[in-house]
C-alpha cells in the first residue's frame, strides 16, 4: 500500500473518531451465561465530511480519490477537523525511552522537558503510525514519563521511536472500493475510513 498525500490545504468539516474493539461473546444455550474473548487487536475508525468551496478544491479531491484507488492505498488523517481540537501540546522530539513489545498498553517515553502543556486522558498520540488514545493523563514528573493508552501496540516500538503528540494522525484506508459519496449535491464529500495495518 502506498501512502497518498491529502490535497494541499485540505479542510475538513467533521472528523469523528471511534474505537473498534474485537471481542467475541458466546452465550451458553444451557444456562445463558456469557463468555467473552478479547482478541486484543482494536483500532480506530472515523466518519469524515469535507466541504468543497471551489472547483479547484473539487478537482484536487477527485485526483486524491483516483490516486487512493479505493482500498488499495492509505493516507494520514488528522485527529480533528481543525488540525488539533485537543489542547495544542508544545514541545517536540518526544520519543520512546525503552524498547516496548507489541501488545503493551503502557510505554516509557522521554524528552517531555520542553512540553508546557501535557496530553490528558481521552486525547490521542501517534506511535509507529498507530493512533492510540490516552487512558490516563501524562504525569507531570521529570523528562521521562510512562504513558497509558488503548488499543495495545500492534508492533514493537524501538527506543527513540517518535511519539507524535502535537499533531497526531491515523494511517487510514477506505475499506470499500467505491470511494466517497457526495452529500447535499457535489459540495460535500462524506466517507468512512479505518486504520490500515
Number of helical H runs and strand E runs in the chain: 1, 14
Indicate whether 130 pLDDT > 80: yes
**What's the N-to-C CA distance of the chain in angstroms?**
10
pLDDT for the residue 188: 77
Same domain, 121 and 141: yes
Q: Do residues 102 and 138 share a domain?
A: yes
Listed in order, strand segments (DSSP E) in the chain are 14-20, 23-27, 34-38, 43-51, 75-78, 95-96, 106-110, 124-127, 130-134, 145-150, 163-164, 169-173, 181-183, 188-195
62 shares a domain with 113:
no
Position 22 scores a pLDDT of 79
Span 144-152, mean pLDDT? 93
Claim to verify: residue 177 and residue 131 sit in the same structural domain:
no
Same domain (yes/no): 119, 137: yes
Residue 128 has pLDDT above 90, yes or no: yes
Q: Which three cell numbers stand for residue 108?
A: 516509557
Residues 156 and 136 in one domain: yes
Say whether pLDDT at 68 is over 80. Answer: yes
Please give the pLDDT value at position 148: 97
pLDDT, position 85: 47
Across the chain, mean pLDDT equals 86
Give me the number of domains the chain comprises: 2
pLDDT tens digits for 164-192?
888 899 999 998 776 666 665 556 788 89
Give the CATH number for residue 89. Answer: 2.40.30.290
Nearest C-alpha neighbor of 179 from the set 89, 81, 48: 48
Percent of residues, the chain, with pLDDT higher than 90 = 47
Q: Which residues make beta-bridge pairs with 18?
A: 45
State the residue for C-alpha cell 474485537: 22
Are both 78 and 175 inside the same structural domain?
yes
C-beta separation of 99 from 158 below 8 A: yes
Compute how many other C-beta atoms are within 10 angstroms of the C-beta atom of residue 133: 19
Question: Would residue 189 count as lying in a domain?
Answer: yes
Q: Read off the pLDDT of residues 71-124 as tens digits, 9 standing for 90 and up.
A: 899 999 999 855 444 555 555 688 999 999 999 999 999 988 766 678 889 989
Confidence grade of residue 133 (pLDDT, cut at 50, 70, 90): very high
Quick one: 75 and 37 in the same domain? yes
Phi–psi pair at 171, nearest 5 degrees: -80, 110
In a domain, 130, yes or no: yes
Grid cell digits, residue 130: 498507530
Q: Does residue 34 lie in a domain region?
A: yes
Same domain, 23 and 50: yes
- Comparing 90 with 129, the larger pLDDT belongs to 129
Domain range enclosing 108? 85-166
Q: Are 74 and 2 in contact (CB under 8 A)?
A: yes
Residue found by looking up cell 461473546 in the block: 25
Instruction: Please tell me which residue, 138 or 178, carries the higher pLDDT value.
Output: 138
Q: Does the pLDDT at position 4 exceed 50?
A: yes
Sign of the Cα pseudo-torsion (135, 136, 141, 146, in order): negative
Per-residue pLDDT tens over the stretch 19-45: 998 778 888 888 888 888 777 678 999
pLDDT at 52: 84
Same domain, 35 and 106: no
The pLDDT value given to residue 9: 85
Is the residue at 162 inside a domain?
A: yes
Does 5 map to a domain? no
| In a domain? residue 7 | no
By the 8 A CB rule, do 120 and 87 touch?
A: yes
Q: Cβ contacts of residue 27 below 8 Å, gap of 6+?
A: 33, 34
Amino acid at each position: 500500500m502506498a501512502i497518498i498525500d491529502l490535497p494541499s490545504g485540505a479542510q475538513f468539516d467533521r472528523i469523528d473518531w471511534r474505537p473498534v474493539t474485537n471481542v467475541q461473546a458466546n452465550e451458553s444455550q444451557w444456562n445463558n451465561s456469557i463468555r467473552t474473548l478479547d482478541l486484543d487487536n482494536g483500532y480506530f475508525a472515523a466518519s469524515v465530511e469535507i466541504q468543497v468551496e471551489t472547483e479547484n478544491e473539487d478537482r484536487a479531491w477527485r485526483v486524491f480519490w483516483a490516486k487512493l484507488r479505493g482500498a488499495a492505498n492509505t493516507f494520514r488523517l488528522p485527529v480533528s477537523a481543525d488540525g488539533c481540537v485537543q489542547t495544542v501540546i508544545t514541545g517536540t522530539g518526544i520519543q520512546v525511552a525503552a524498547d516496548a513489545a507489541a501488545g503493551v498498553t503502557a510505554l516509557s517515553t522521554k524528552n517531555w522537558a520542553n512540553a508546557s502543556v501535557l496530553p490528558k486522558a481521552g486525547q490521542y498520540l501517534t506511535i509507529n503510525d498507530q493512533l492510540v488514545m490516552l487512558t490516563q493523563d501524562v504525569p507531570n514528573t521529570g523528562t521521562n514519563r510512562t504513558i497509558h493508552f488503548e488499543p495495545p501496540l500492534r508492533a514493537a516500538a524501538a527506543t527513540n521511536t517518535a511519539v507524535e503528540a502535537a499533531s497526531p494522525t491515523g494511517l487510514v484506508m477506505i475499506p470499500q472500493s467505491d470511494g466517497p459519496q457526495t452529500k447535499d449535491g457535489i459540495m460535500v464529500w462524506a466517507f468512512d475510513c479505518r486504520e490500515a495495518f
